[in-house]
Amino acid sequence: MTMRDQPFVPPLRVLTLAWRLAGRGAMAAWLLLAQPACTYHPAGAPDEKLTSAAEAKPVPESAAGGAELESQGPPPSRLEKPETARSAALDDPRPLRQAYHDLRRHTPRSIGEDAGLDISPDGAAVVFASTSNSNQPKIYLKDENSPLVRAVTTGESRDLQPKFSPDGKSIAFASDREGNFDIWMVRVAQPNSLEQITSSPEDELHPTFSPDGRQIAFCRRSGKQGWNLWVEQRDRQSQIELGPGLFPEWSPTGEWIAFQRASERGERWFAVWIIRPDGSDVRQVVAFDHWGAIQPTWSLDGSQLAFTTTARLPDLPAGTDLAGRGVKGDDLWIIELRQGRTFQLTHHEGANWKPVWGLNGRLYFVSDRYGSPNILSLVPPEVEE
């Protein structure tokens, strides 16, 4: 069965299944936010599991309401040797000065799942969504150099996809606390200071700030039109629609918004695109004919985009762990926008997804390579000219 032959899944059902599938590397838009032209109907959801007996410790509650994590990462033997990064073009291999290095594990937990994340502008904190302490995902904040995690949101709602404001004082996120998913914002220093940014009857997800903080881009499901990009102009209290797309990410210069959009031909894989904030000058950045390119994120200087690939699973016998799931999150790639060269960063059998660039060129992401989905980071290789 091809992607286009599969049945349409109601939006909230897709959202729920997407979160549960995040542990299998499936926290991707065509799992999370399926358009009628390219929908994914997963079968079942993984159970929580422990990565190893050594990691199967109870996670104590901290006084702040979060989870106190181990101060050190996994034993050295748990960190595999750096993978070799290579160019996507097999007939034109571009040598890299070194493989990625300094692989770190930031949330060494074995209970629950970590998902969407962002890094504060000063590089001092990580904000992410997790089911580590509750059945529904909540937003948590972790200092880069501390094992302590603080809960930013509480309650029975599902809180997803946090994003720091440019000044680092606020966090925007998607939540269904008023019924359907809307965009909300909370002050980092005042967890009770919730502000509702959007209030449409349609689901709205994945906020991203303009560099000056005056605008927030997001995606909204608009009836039969599927998922479209919108911009909330906060100073004018107005919104503009940019067109079809998912997972917007504002560039550091403010000139572009990167996003993913399904192809209109072939197997209809997702590709990475960029668009001007006024909806003009839409350009395709990268597309493949054998897999999808999703979840783009800008390097701090705006010269590169990192993204996740999704690959179709082979036909598996009924009853096996991934049978019937169709696609999976796969590896991390980067593209140099000036020369258009693409390079594969990871070649791990586990799933790696949702990359976010931090300070000093470090790339943070979610991976299930140690069992439960945790937040990791690495330093990408330098590309030889």
Per-residue pLDDT tens digits for 54-90? 222 222 222 222 222 222 232 222 233 344 444 443 3
Is residue 65, in this structure, part of any structural domain at all?
Answer: no
In 3-state terms, what secondary structure has residue 151? strand
pLDDT score at 238: 85
d(CA 281, CA 259): 13
Q: Between 192 and 107, where is the model more confident? A: 107
Side chain identity at 215, as an amino acid letter?
Q
Cα separations (Å) of 158 from 71, 81, 129, 131, 228?
Answer: 28, 36, 9, 10, 22
Is residue 237, in this structure, part of any structural domain at all?
Answer: yes
Is residue 18, in this structure, part of any structural domain at all?
Answer: no
Q: Of the candidates 219, 322, 317, 325, which has an alpha carbon nearest to the alpha carbon of residue 3?
A: 325
Token pair belonging to 28: 């991707």
On whether the CB atoms of residues 30 and 268 are closer than 8 A, the answer is no
Q: List the CATH number of the domain containing 195.
A: 2.120.10.30
d(CA 191, CA 153): 7
Is residue 80, in this structure, part of any structural domain at all?
Answer: no
Q: In the chain, how many domains are there?
A: 1
pLDDT score at 72: 26
Is residue 76, in this structure, part of any structural domain at all?
Answer: no
302 C-beta neighbours (distance < 10 Å), count: 15
pLDDT score at 383: 54
Helix or strand run (H / E) with residue 19: helix 11-21
pLDDT at 265 exceeding the cut of 80: no
pLDDT score at 138: 96
* Confidence band, pLDDT 50/70/90 cuts, at residue 243: very high
Distant-in-sequence, close-in-space partners of 300: CB < 8 Å, separation ≥ 6 = 252, 357, 359, 361
pLDDT score at 220: 96
pLDDT at 235 exceeding the cut of 80: no
pLDDT at 8 exceeding the cut of 60: no
d(CA 366, CA 228): 25
pLDDT, tens digit (0-9, with 9 covering 90-100), for 294-333:
999 999 999 999 999 987 655 545 554 444 445 555 789 9
Is residue 327, in this structure, part of any structural domain at all?
Answer: yes
> How many residues make up the chain in this entry?
385
On whether the CB atoms of residues 306 and 355 are closer than 8 A, the answer is yes
Range of the domain at 148: 89-379
Cα separations (Å) of 349 from 90, 194, 291, 316?
Answer: 20, 40, 16, 17
pLDDT, average across residues 150-159 = 94
Is residue 101, in this structure, part of any structural domain at all?
Answer: yes
Distant-in-sequence, close-in-space partners of 323: CB < 8 Å, separation ≥ 6 = 43, 316, 317
On whether the CB atoms of residues 383 and 341 are closer than 8 A, the answer is yes
Which DSSP category does 31 fall into? Answer: H
Is residue 30, in this structure, part of any structural domain at all?
Answer: no
In this structure, is the dihedral angle defined by the CA atoms of residues 58, 64, 66 and 67, taken in order, positive or negative? negative
The residues pairing with 278 across neighbouring beta strands, listed in sequence order, are none
* Residue in the structure block whose two tokens are 């899944």: 9
| pTM (two decimals) | 0.76
d(CA 205, CA 213): 18
175 C-beta neighbours (distance < 10 Å), count: 25
d(CA 1, CA 185): 41
Radius of gyration of the chain (CA): 19
Q: Of the candidates 36, 46, 27, which has an alpha carbon nearest to the alpha carbon of residue 6?
A: 36
Q: Between 3 and 126, where is the model more confident? A: 126
Angle at Cα 330 formed by Cα 325 and Cα 335, nearest 5°? 140
* Confidence band, pLDDT 50/70/90 cuts, at residue 126: very high
Alpha helices in 48-158 (DSSP H): none
